[in-house]
């Protein structure tokens, strides 16, 4: 009886998942097995043609580029986010919630608007060039439409997603463990390496997933901050949907990406031995 | 012989509003089992943390082995702590927990292996090396915590209420075990506890603390038999107090008079000169009741039984010797055939040597 009441509580979420996730996903999957007609309708015939097209080696560099961007973004987010999380969790004192609020503050503005801001900052006549590089180097730097600008934009966007889980993990570490380490002769550095870092691993794993996965599929940032040389898989999919109106082929690309990511995540969790940690 | 390992000299530690440790001076000798005993919040843990290096004193000096250490971080002090919560590393197994300190001081791995097994044998916990610490019982965790500290051969082992999380039976066993370890290893133990039985039964010397101050440092017997202050007398065991004034001091014996003029005899005390307002403290088990006044040189007070509680081997009596002055006493039931009844008039007697004169505290 009690068990059944508990299940009632998750019912809204299950419903939500079914209607807004599983059904659309099923529709997309179904579409991917049809061809688009010349007047942009979905054809009737079942076929694997879209998948055959998607295996085209032309997509490999795009995929590889997306993965590199995602990896670089994840790395940058961890490198920047870990110290930030460390400070907030262990030295935030009574201002802890204020710091967390500040971390979340950018979300009060649309991601699109914030990315446009980066555009105006980075462009040739932008603020960074006029204030920094022109006086310093005598000429502006072309920063937009490079790998760097895309990774910068992605890192900026996902930094809070990396910081939060790490700070939660750090917060959960019993302070007496840090004292125990010092008591046993552990210098601050070895206390960090031998106690804090291993104990914050679940947070780091969560941060990695929360950054890598969305960065891999992101298309807004490369669209705005990137250029012709920085096309990502997200953009390629978006192009099929919104410019070429070949939804079935876009669906096939999206599903392949999803399967690839699922395999990647499973491998990552297995390798980091964290199925238990996350469970 | 009387080498001092730990010294606190006029140490004061304040937190925002409270003075947790107030001008404390303590000397702990090499190889002794020393206890810090006191009620909750009296500053025991803070004192221990000052020695370990987790807190810095606001005033005063802390010496380890004669050298001032108050500015040394914990990892530079040769003391180890057994934490109240044990603070075992959850990501390491038993072996790696115990080896933690040795690895930090770069002991070769082969030596680590022998020393870890020795330490675990010492606390009678071999064969659990590969276990996760989260898979151990409370008692086992405590032994691992002990081994983890002892394996480093510290000059001083600090223990903060190490047994408070154990059940009573296990606690008694551990108490004996701790005492054995301390004797065998000859390491100085400093034990923080609010359990007087624990402190009295294990320690060579006990410091009784109250509100950040040390009230008395003495051997367990002296703490119980000759408490220095009313607080100590009251905190350790139970005590009866009779307000009195010192009339005469003669040859180690003082004569005091109660408010109603009855005079009593007690061993003299330094802080109780002639004319001083004092409190005469007597333990309940040192009192006996009679129907006739005694004449053998014991103190004797007429009293009225207010309450009696039969408790099997003993009966506890509450008697009133004057308006509002009540004492309790316990009588072995073998001595008294029919016992005393509430309302009965009796005589309360005790040997002069059983009393202690304490300076009256302004209250
Ligand atoms: N970090 C701290 N910040 C503020 N006040 C503190 C801190 N640590 C201790 N205190 C205060 O100092 C006083 C002494 O605390 P301490 O922990 O030393 O007591 P204790 O004798 O160990 O008590 P218990 O038996 O309850 O453990 C208490 O009033 C406590 O509230
Ligand atoms: Mg304490």
Question: CATH no. for residue A118?
Answer: 1.10.3720.10
State chain A's mean pLDDT as an integer.
92
Q: How far is A183 from chain B (nearest CA, A)?
A: 5
pLDDT given for residue B270 in this prediction: 86
* Mean pLDDT, residues B127-135: 88
Q: Do B85 and A195 touch (CB under 8 A)?
A: no
pLDDT single digits (tens) B54-68: 999 999 999 999 999
- Please name the residues in contact with A140: beta carbons below 8 A apart, sequence gap of 6 or more: A124, A125, A129, A130, A133, A134
Range of weakest confidence among A247-251, B22-26, B168-172, B218-222: B168-172
Domain membership flag for residue A6 = no
Q: For residue A119, is pLDDT > 90?
A: yes
Per-residue pLDDT band at A274 (split at 50, 70, 90)? low
Q: Which residues line ligand 1 (CB under 6 A)?
A: B 15-16, 18, 20, 38, 40-46, 194
Contacts of B65 (CB under 8 A, 6+ apart): B5, B78, B155
Higher pLDDT, B269 or A276: B269
What pLDDT, on the 0 to 100 scale, is given for residue B363? 54
- Check residue A146 and give its pLDDT: 93
Q: How many distinct structural domains can be found in chain A?
A: 1
Lowest mean pLDDT among A147-161, B119-133, B135-149: B119-133
Go through the domains of chain B in sequence order and give each one's CATH number.
Answer: 4-231 (3.40.50.300), 238-359 (2.40.50.100)
Mutate to test the interface with B, among A93, A172, A185, A277 (most CBs of B within 10 A): A185
Q: Average pLDDT for residues B308-315, to the nearest whole number?
A: 88
> What φ, ψ does residue B58 adopt, rounded to 5°?
-80, -35
Range of the domain at A156: 65-232
pLDDT, residue B313, reads 86
In whole angstroms, give the CA distance from residue B33 to residue A218.
Answer: 66
Q: What pTM was computed for the model? A: 0.85
Distance CA B112, CA B91 (A): 19
Closest listed residue to residue B269, CA positions, set B290, B238, B288, B246: B246
Q: How far is the CA of B63 from the centre of ligand 1 (A)?
A: 22
B322 has a pLDDT exceeding 90: no
Alpha carbons A32 and A42: distance in angstroms, whole number: 10
Q: Closest-CA residue in chain A for B54? A: A179
Q: Are B231 and B215 in contact (CB under 8 A)?
A: yes
Q: What is the layout of strands, in order, in the sheet containing B288-290?
A: B288-290, B345-350, B299-310, B314-322, B325-332
Distances (CA, A) of B296 to A221, B100, B293, B299, B300: 102, 66, 10, 9, 10
pLDDT tens track for A157-193: 999 999 999 999 999 999 999 999 999 999 999 999 9
Instruction: State the complex-level ipTM.
Output: 0.85
User: Which of B12, B15, B38 best tests ligand 1's pocket when mutated (most atoms within 8 Å of CB)?
Assistant: B15
Domain assignment present for A267: no
A28 interface with B at CB cutoff 8 Å: no
Distance A36 CA to ligand 2 centre (A): 74
Cα B7 to ligand 2 centroid, rounded to whole Å: 20
Pick the residue from chain A with its C-alpha nearest to B76.
Answer: A185
Q: Answer with the residue of higher pLDDT: B260 or B102.
A: B102
**Share above pLDDT 70 across residues of chain A, in percent, rounded to a whole number:** 97
In a domain, A122, yes or no: yes
> Residues A168-176: contacts with CB within 8 Å, 24+ apart?
A168/A89, A168/A203, A169/A199, A169/A200, A169/A201, A169/A202, A169/A203, A169/A204, A169/A206, A170/A85, A170/A86, A170/A89, A170/A90, A170/A196, A170/A200, A170/A203, A171/A89, A173/A199, A173/A200, A174/B85, A174/B87, A176/B83, A176/B85, A176/B87
Q: What pLDDT is stored for residue B337 in this prediction?
A: 61
Q: Is the pLDDT reported for residue A277 higher than 70?
A: no
pLDDT per position as a tens digit, A66-75: 999 999 999 9
| pLDDT score, position A278 | 46
pLDDT beyond 60 at B77: yes
Is A254 part of any domain?
no
| pLDDT surpassing 60 at residue B93 | yes
Whether residue A95 has pLDDT greater than 70: yes
Tell me if A183 and B105 make a contact (CB, 8 A cut-off): no
Q: Of ligand 1's atoms, which has the minimum distance to the CA of residue B55?
A: 1
- B348 forms bridges with which residues in the sheet? B289, B301
* Adjacent-strand bridge partners of A240: none
- In a domain, residue A274? The reply is no
User: Which residues are within 8 A (CB) of A40 and not within 5 positions of it... i.e. 6 or more apart?
Assistant: A245
- The C-alpha atoms of residue A142 and residue A136 are separated, in whole angstroms, by 15
From B16, B19, B43, B194, give the residue whose CB has the most ligand 1 atoms within 8 Å, as the site to mutate.
B43
B101: contact with A, CB 8 A cutoff: yes
Domain-embedded: residue A203: yes
CA A197 to chain centre: 22
pLDDT band at A279 (very low <50, low <70, confident <90, very high): very low
Give tens-digit pLDDT for B168-210.
888 888 899 999 999 999 999 999 999 999 999 999 999 999 9
What distance, in Å, lies between the first and last C-alpha atoms of chain A? 25
pLDDT at B323: 85
Q: Tell me which chain A residues have a C-beta less than 8 angstroms from the C-beta of B89.
A: 177, 180-181, 195
- A42 vs B96, residue with greater confidence: B96
In a domain, residue A113? The reply is yes
CA distance B92 to B98: 9
CA angle A93, A95, A96 (to 5 degrees): 75
Please determine, for residue B293, whether its predicted confidence score (pLDDT) is greater than 90.
Answer: no
In degrees and rounded to multiples of 5, residue B238 shows phi and psi of -120, 150
CA angle A98, A103, A105 (to 5 degrees): 90
Residue B217, pLDDT above cutoff 60: yes
Residue B142, pLDDT score: 92
Confidence of residue B362 (pLDDT cuts 50, 70, 90): low
**How confident is residue B360, by pLDDT bands cut at 50, 70 and 90?**
confident
SS3 B37: strand
Distance (Å) from CA B40 to ligand 1 centroid: 8
Q: Please state whether B212 falls in left (phi above 0), alpha (psi between -120 and 50) or beta.
A: left
Residue A273 domain-assigned (yes or no): no
State whether residue A217 is helix, strand or coil: helix
What is the spatial distance between Cα A133 and Cα B215, in angstroms, rounded to a whole number?
71
**CB within 8 Å: A187 and B87:** no
- Over the stretch B4-40, which tens digit does the pLDDT of each residue have? 999 999 999 999 989 999 999 999 999 999 999 999 9
A276, pLDDT greater than 60 = no
B194: Cβ contacts below 8 Å, ≥ 6 apart: B37, B38, B39, B40, B44, B161
Q: Which region among A28-37, A126-135, B59-68, B334-343 has the lowest average model confidence (pLDDT)? A: B334-343
CA distance B162 to B149: 12
Closest CA to B284 of B338, B237, B248: B237
Encoding tokens for residue B287? Answer: 């009192």
């Amino acid at each position: 009886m009690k068990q059944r009441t508990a299940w009632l509580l998750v019912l809204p979420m299950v419903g939500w998942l079914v209607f807004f996730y599983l059904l659309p996903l099923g529709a997309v999957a179904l579409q991917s097995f049809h061809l688009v007609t010349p007047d942009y309708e979905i054809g009737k015939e079942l076929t694997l043609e879209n998948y055959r097209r998607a295996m085209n080696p032309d997509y490999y560099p795009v995929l590889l580029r997306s993965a590199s961007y995602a990896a670089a973004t994840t790395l940058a987010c961890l490198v920047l986010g870990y110290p930030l999380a460390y400070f907030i969790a262990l030295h935030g004192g009574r201002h802890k919630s204020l710091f967390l609020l500040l971390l979340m503050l950018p979300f009060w503005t649309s991601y699109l608007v914030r990315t446009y801001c980066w555009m105006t900052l980075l462009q040739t006549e932008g603020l960074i060039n006029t204030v920094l590089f022109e006086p310093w180097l005598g000429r502006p730097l072309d920063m937009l439409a490079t790998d760097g600008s895309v990774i910068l934009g992605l890192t900026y966007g996902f930094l809070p997603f990396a910081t939060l889980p790490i700070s939660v993990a750090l917060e959960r570490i019993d302070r007496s463990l840090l004292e125990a380490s010092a008591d046993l002769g552990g210098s601050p550095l070895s206390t960090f390496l031998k106690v804090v870092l291993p104990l914050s691993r679940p947070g780091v794993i969560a941060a990695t997933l929360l950054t890598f996965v969305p960065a891999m599929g992101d298309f807004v940032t490369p669209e705005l901050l990137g250029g012709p040389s920085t096309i990502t898989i997200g953009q390629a999919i978006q192009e099929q949907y919104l410019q070429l109106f070949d939804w079935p082929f876009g669906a096939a690309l999206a599903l392949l990406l999803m399967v690839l990511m699922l395999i990647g995540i499973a491998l990552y969790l297995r390798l980091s031995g964290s199925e238990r940690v996350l469970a | 012989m009387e080498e001092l390992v730990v010294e606190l000299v006029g140490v004061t530690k304040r937190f925002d509003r409270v003075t947790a440790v107030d001008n404390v001076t303590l000397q702990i000798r090499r190889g002794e089992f020393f206890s810090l005993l006191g009620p909750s919040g009296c500053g025991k843990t803070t004192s221990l943390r000052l020695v370990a290096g987790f807190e810095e004193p606001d005033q005063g000096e802390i010496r380890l082995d004669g050298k001032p250490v108050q500015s040394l971080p914990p990892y530079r002090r040769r003391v180890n702590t057994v934490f109240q919560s044990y603070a075992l590393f959850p990501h390491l197994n038993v072996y790696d927990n115990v080896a933690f300190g040795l690895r930090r001081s770069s002991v070769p791995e082969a030596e680590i292996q022998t020393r870890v097994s020795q330490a675990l044998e010492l606390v009678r916990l071999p064969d659990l090396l590969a276990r996760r610490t989260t898979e151990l019982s409370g008692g086992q965790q405590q032994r691992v915590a002990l081994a983890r500290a002892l394996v480093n051969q510290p000059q001083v082992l600090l223990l903060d209420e190490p047994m408070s999380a154990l059940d009573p039976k296990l606690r008694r066993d551990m108490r004996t075990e701790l005492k054995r370890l301390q004797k065998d290893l000859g390491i100085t133990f400093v034990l923080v506890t609010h359990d007087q039985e624990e402190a009295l039964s294990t320690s060579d010397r006990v410091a009784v603390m109250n509100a950040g101050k040390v009230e008395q440092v003495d051997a367990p017997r002296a703490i119980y038999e000759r408490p220095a202050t009313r607080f100590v007398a009251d905190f350790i065991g139970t005590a009866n107090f009779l307000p009195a004034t010192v009339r005469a001091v003669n040859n180690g014996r003082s004569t005091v008079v109660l408010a109603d003029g009855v005079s009593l005899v007690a061993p003299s005390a330094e802080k109780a000169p002639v004319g001083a307002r004092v409190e005469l403290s007597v333990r309940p088990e040192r009192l006996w009741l009679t129907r006739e006044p005694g004449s053998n040189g014991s103190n004797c007070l007429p009293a009225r039984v207010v309450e009696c509680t039969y408790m099997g081997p003993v009966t506890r009596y509450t008697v009133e010797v004057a308006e509002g002055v009540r004492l309790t006493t316990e009588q072995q039931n073998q001595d008294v055939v029919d016992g005393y009844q509430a309302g009965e008039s009796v005589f309360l007697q005790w040997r002069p040597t059983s009393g202690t004169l304490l300076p009256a505290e302004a209250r």
